């Protein structure tokens, strides 16, 4: 089932929290809504669920306009951060809730509850109460409860952020497996964590300040971000203020060779280079600077190198003999690893 | 556009679609019940207070009541007794709650629970108990006459307003302690530790740290107790003293003992005006305090 | 800890006991002691007997106990239903509407109980609703008086209820009535029982409005206690008072058991 936002605007007491969102999620697709808190991503999800009413615009599910339907007539599954399992019901009663509410036959309920619990690996816990389960187990039950009604659309609102880091990566793999098992279920996944979005999503919609900033596959957004916000929010990036020249750009007094086809010579622009694509030592596009800070991160070293008036970040494989603070080092990066973006707020 | 956005309110929180009209309809049945069984009778009382037995509509009942010695005395007794009891409750409640919360002793929890239980007993039990403790032939006077051989004990205040004052202070103090204990339990102990590590002594900490934090709870509890004292009936009735008459007592005696309904209604209206006015104040104070 | 010196702490505790025991513990002990005695003219009661209890648990007193229990149960159920309904309806109103509703339902707290009694007497002593002289007028007045407390505590609980539960239920396809019965009310159950206990205790001890209204065949315990002390029968009155306290505590205890079960289910 597809989801379509048609110029959806939501306002609370005059504050616009979602500004004319246009977005289509294809049937069976996993779309991540990625953005910082207050970016409007959760509001967009709640507009699909029916908990917020758009001031203008329409929400369509599978081509049907549901803007004026109450939540209980929309048939979407929803999983929220705090699980919201009914504390007074056992696990199987929680999972059966949606089926009972719509008057499904008893035998059918039993079958579907067993199926949903099997799918999430919670069959052994059917007769427990939610408070007897760990956070990860509660999250599985919440997913089973949402899947039991066989929704065409599954809404996930920061489903992993209440879990600790180790559990989170496990659940991420589980969600990916669930999606392979249920290829027809369209998922809208709200998160502020780029790793979750990159791992799980077919496409990512990046949101900031109530607006959609960019939308594309993880690879597109990562390799060729459209603007500074997307570049820094998806994956983290060096955003270097540059002046466009004839065959490259000027940065801190050095000429850097990059593709300038899209830019006008003489204009100011931002050069985006991922830290892990910056190498230490001689190579093409050399930058020389002084190490301001060096952090050991296990498999890598993160260097902050002062080049001119700017810090350049470089993530390099763990060094046997790392440079010290104040040492002069040379950095380099390949021309096709750099993307030229329009000058933004980061321009100094 | 901005205007359109401002006027279109999004509905967050509730699971239902915005149905302001439907919500109003649902609120109607309980409001109708309240209107029929509480507001309408109250309105009749006001109406009755303008209908003297002689017939017609006039302010004669008010003139009669205001002119009577009994009313003025009752008004005065009510008006000084309630704030005095409230003051007693505040001081006593603050001290006791302070000890329970900050100088805890084994059994302090049990005492706090006892306070809760105390709240669920009717007020007149206190007066009944005081009859045995300070009554003419009670414990205290009995002990005195037993010791000194005197014919009469020294405690003869039960039939005076002081007896009512003692009973009201005793009974209503837990009403102050409960919100105070709740407020104290939310007080950050780190704040107290910081203050005492800086060398502040206990009285100073109480004055500078605890009292400001407790003020909202004190204000809310105090105004509730004030209203309850103004309206207290059981304690005064059980005291059984002719000399102590408060407004609620006067309402009862005029209506039931003298069958003077217009007069009773006048006193009732005056009493309601005083206590509802004060109660409005309490609501404002407690909303400020976030209680 | 506020007071560090051991001596000061002991001094404070002593002051606490000196204030607390005579003021709060003594009255209850005294009533208990008196209920077992026939005379009290020195430090301790004398003429120990169980006769007071024998008379406090039969005949007129037993009838009054039954009357009080029925009145309190009836008033609590009615008040809880009305108060809960108003609290739930108020929760879906807009801010101003909710404030008006709250104020309306809190008004009976501010109005003296005696006046509530008088107003009910004035209003229902004539047709079409002639209740005066029946037990219903007592139950009605008690209901009016305790509804405010029921409304207040349920309303606070409704505000605290996490909307995530009802939203989860709605997203699963449950219509509002189903959500109310299967999710919201069960989650409110602990608060509802607490409110019921409060209403019950208040109604058991209600004297002011009852004194204005009670018909001869519907005499609740507090009235009986007053009648006893008024004619000087303090000791048998005390026994009835102890029965009243014990009955109240028993019901409160039972209610709190239900509440614990409800919140740990």
Which residue did the predictor score with more confidence, B278 or A278? A278
Judged by a CB distance cut-off of 8 A, whether residue A145 touches chain C is yes
pLDDT tens readout for residues B100-136: 888 888 888 888 888 888 888 888 888 888 888 887 7
Cβ-nearest to B17 among A16, A56, A70? A70
Assigned domain for B190 exists: yes
**Cβ neighbours of A12 in B, within 8 Å:** 9-10, 12
**Cβ neighbours of A49 in C, within 8 Å:** 167, 171
Domains of chain A with bracketed CATH: 3-228 (3.40.50.300), 237-342 (2.40.50.140)
Lowest mean pLDDT across A311-315, B54-58, C97-101, C200-204: B54-58
pLDDT at A2 (0 to 100): 93
How many angstroms separate the CA atoms of C191 and B24, rounded?
24
Residues 1-20 of A with CB under 8 A from C: none
pLDDT at C97 (0 to 100): 86
Which residue did the predictor score with more confidence, B248 or A347? B248
Assigned domain for B130 exists: yes
pLDDT tens readout for residues A155-205: 999 988 888 888 888 888 889 999 999 999 999 999 998 889 988 999 999
Q: Is the pLDDT of residue C93 over 70?
A: yes
Q: Is the pLDDT of residue A46 over 90?
A: yes
Question: Is the CB of C112 less than 8 angstroms away from the CB of B247?
Answer: yes
Assigned domain for B13 exists: no
Residues 183-242 of C with CB under 8 A from B: 197-198, 201-202, 204-208, 211-212, 222, 225-226, 229-230, 234, 237-238, 241
Q: Which of A12, A40, A53, A84 to probe the B interface (max B CBs under 10 A)?
A: A53
pLDDT at A286 (0 to 100): 87
- Average pLDDT score, chain A: 89
* Strands lying side by side in the sheet with A30-34: A76-80, A153-157, A186-191, A30-34, A203-208, A211-216
How many angstroms separate the CA atoms of B14 and C190, rounded?
22
**Cβ neighbours of B15 in A, within 8 Å:** 51, 71
DSSP one-letter string for B147-168: HH--SS-S---TTSHHHHHHHH
- pLDDT average, residue stretch C129-141: 88
CATH of the domain at B261: 1.10.3720.10
Which residue spans within A13-108 are E strands per DSSP? 15-25, 30-34, 56-61, 64-65, 76-80
Judged by a CB distance cut-off of 8 A, whether residue A10 touches chain B is yes
Q: Smallest CA–CA separation between B1 and chain C, in Å?
A: 25
Percent of chain A at pLDDT exceeding 90: 51
- pLDDT average, residue stretch C241-264: 84
Assigned domain for B122 exists: yes
Assigned domain for B259 exists: yes
Query: Which string of b and e fits C177-211 if b means at least 16 CB within 10 Å?
Result: ebbbebbbebbbbbbbbbbbbbbbbbbbbbbbbbb
Assigned domain for B63 exists: yes
Which residue did the predictor score with more confidence, C139 or A244? C139
**Cβ neighbours of B5 in A, within 8 Å:** 9, 11, 14, 16, 55-56
Assigned domain for B48 exists: no
Question: Is the CB of C23 less than 8 angstroms away from the CB of B99?
Answer: no
Structurally, how many domains does chain B consist of?
Answer: 1
Low-confidence ranges of chain B (pLDDT < 50): 1-18, 291
Which ipTM was obtained for this model?
0.85
- pLDDT average, residue stretch C54-66: 84
- Please report where in the chains the tokens 């006046």 appear, as a residue: C115
Cβ-nearest to A71 among B5, B9, B15? B15
pLDDT tens readout for residues A130-139: 999 988 899 9
Cβ-nearest to B275 among C86, C111, C237? C111
How many angstroms separate the CA atoms of A203 and A210, rounded?
19
Assigned domain for B28 exists: no
Question: Is the CB of A76 less than 8 angstroms away from the CB of C165?
Answer: no
pLDDT at B20 (0 to 100): 54
- The whole-model pTM stands at 0.82
What residues make up the domain containing B245? 58-288
CB pairs under 8 A between A and B: 40
- pLDDT average, residue stretch A34-52: 92
pLDDT tens readout for residues C4-29: 678 888 888 888 888 888 888 888 88
- pLDDT average, residue stretch A292-302: 89
């Amino acid at each position: 089932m597809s989801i379509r936002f048609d110029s959806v605007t939501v306002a609370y007491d005059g504050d616009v929290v979602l500004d004319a969102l246009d977005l289509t999620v294809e049937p069976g697709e996993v779309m991540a809504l990625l953005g910082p808190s207050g970016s409007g991503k959760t509001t967009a999800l709640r507009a699909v669920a029916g908990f917020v009413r758009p001031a203008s615009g329409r929400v369509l599910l599978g081509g049907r306009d549901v803007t004026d339907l109450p939540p209980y007539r929309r048939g979407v599954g929803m999983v929220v951060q705090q699980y919201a399992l009914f504390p007074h019901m056992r696990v199987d009663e929680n999972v059966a809730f949606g089926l009972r509410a719509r008057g499904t036959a008893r035998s059918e309920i039993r079958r579907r509850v067993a199926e949903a619990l099997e799918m999430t690996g919670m069959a052994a816990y059917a007769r427990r109460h939610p408070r007897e389960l760990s956070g990860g187990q509660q999250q599985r039950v919440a997913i089973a409860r949402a899947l039991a009604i066989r929704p065409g659309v599954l809404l996930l609102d920061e489903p992993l952020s209440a879990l600790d880091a180790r559990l989170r990566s496990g659940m991420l793999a589980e969600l990916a497996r669930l999606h392979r098992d249920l290829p027809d279920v369209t998922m809208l996944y709200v998160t502020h964590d780029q790793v979750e979005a990159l791992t799980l999503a077919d496409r990512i919609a990046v949101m900031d300040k109530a607006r959609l900033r960019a939308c594309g596959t993880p690879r597109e957004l990562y390799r060729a971000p459209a603007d500074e916000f997307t570049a820094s929010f998806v994956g983290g990036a060096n955003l270097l203020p540059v002046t466009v020249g004839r065959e490259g750009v000027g940065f801190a007094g050095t000429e850097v060779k990059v593709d300038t086809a899209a830019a006008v010579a003489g204009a100011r622009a931002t050069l985006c280079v991922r830290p892990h694509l910056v190498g230490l030592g001689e190579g093409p596009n050399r930058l020389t600077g002084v190490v301001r800070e060096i952090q050991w991160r296990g498999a890598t070293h993160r260097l902050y190198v002062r080049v001119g008036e700017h810090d350049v970040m470089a993530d390099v494989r763990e060094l046997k003999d790392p440079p010290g603070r104040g040492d002069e080092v040379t950095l380099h990066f390949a021309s096709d690893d750099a993307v030229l973006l329009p000058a933004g707020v980061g321009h100094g | 556009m901005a205007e359109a956005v401002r006027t279109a309110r999004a509905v967050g929180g509730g699971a239902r679609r915005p149905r302001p009209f439907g919500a109003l309809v649902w609120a109607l049945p309980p409001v109708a019940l309240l209107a029929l069984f509480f507001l309408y009778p109250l309105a009749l009382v006001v109406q009755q207070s303008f209908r003297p037995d002689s017939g017609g509509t006039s302010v004669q009942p008010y003139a009669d009541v205001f002119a009577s010695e009994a009313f003025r005395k009752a008004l005065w007794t009510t008006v000084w007794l309630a704030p005095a009891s409230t003051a007693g409750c505040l001081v006593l409640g603050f001290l006791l709650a302070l000890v329970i919360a900050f100088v805890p002793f084994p059994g302090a929890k049990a005492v706090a629970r006892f306070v809760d239980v105390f709240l669920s007993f009717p007020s007149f039990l206190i007066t009944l108990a005081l009859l045995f403790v300070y009554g003419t032939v009670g414990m205290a006077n009995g002990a005195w006459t037993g010791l000194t051989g005197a014919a009469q004990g020294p405690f003869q205040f039960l039939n005076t307003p002081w007896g009512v004052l003692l009973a009201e202070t005793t009974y209503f103090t837990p009403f102050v302690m409960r919100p105070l204990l709740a407020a104290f339990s939310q007080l950050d102990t780190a704040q107290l530790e910081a203050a005492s590590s800086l060398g502040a002594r206990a009285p100073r900490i109480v004055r500078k740290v605890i009292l400001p934090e407790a003020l909202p709870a004190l204000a809310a509890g105090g105004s509730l107790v004030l209203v309850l004292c103004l309206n207290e009936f059981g304690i005064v009735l059980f005291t059984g003293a002719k000399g102590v008459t408060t407004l609620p007592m006067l309402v009862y005696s005029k209506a039931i003992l003298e069958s003077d309904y217009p007069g009773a209604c006048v006193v009732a209206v005056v009493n309601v005006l005083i206590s509802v006015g004060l109660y409005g104040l309490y609501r404002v104070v407690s909303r400020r305090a976030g209680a | 800890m506020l007071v560090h010196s051991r001596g000061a702490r002991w001094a404070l505790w002593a002051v606490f006991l000196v204030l607390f025991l005579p003021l709060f513990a003594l009255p209850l002990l005294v009533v208990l002691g008196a209920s077992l005695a026939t005379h009290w003219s020195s430090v301790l009661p004398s003429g120990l007997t169980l006769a007071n209890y024998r008379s406090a648990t039969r005949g007129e007193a037993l009838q009054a106990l039954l009357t009080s229990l029925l009145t309190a149960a009836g008033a609590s159920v009615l008040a809880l239903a009305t108060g809960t309904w108003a609290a739930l309806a108020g929760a879906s109103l807009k801010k101003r509407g909710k404030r008006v509703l709250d104020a309306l339902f809190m008004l009976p707290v501010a109005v003296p109980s005696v006046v509530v009694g008088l107003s009910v007497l004035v209003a229902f002593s004539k047709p079409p609703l002639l209740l005066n002289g029946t037990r219903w007028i007592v139950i009605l007045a008690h209901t009016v008086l305790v509804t405010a407390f029921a409304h207040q505590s349920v309303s606070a609980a409704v505000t605290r209820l996490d909307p995530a539960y009802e939203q989860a239920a709605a997203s699963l396809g449950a219509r509002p009535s189903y959500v109310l019965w299967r999710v919201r009310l069960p989650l409110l159950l602990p608060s509802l029982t607490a409110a019921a206990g409060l209403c019950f205790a208040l109604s058991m001890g209600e004297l002011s409005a009852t004194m204005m209204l009670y018909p001869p065949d519907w005499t609740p315990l507090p009235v009986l206690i007053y009648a006893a002390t008024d004619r000087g029968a303090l000791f048998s009155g005390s026994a009835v008072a102890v029965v009243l306290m014990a009955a109240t505590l028993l019901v409160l205890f039972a209610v709190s058991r239900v509440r614990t079960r409800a919140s740990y289910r």
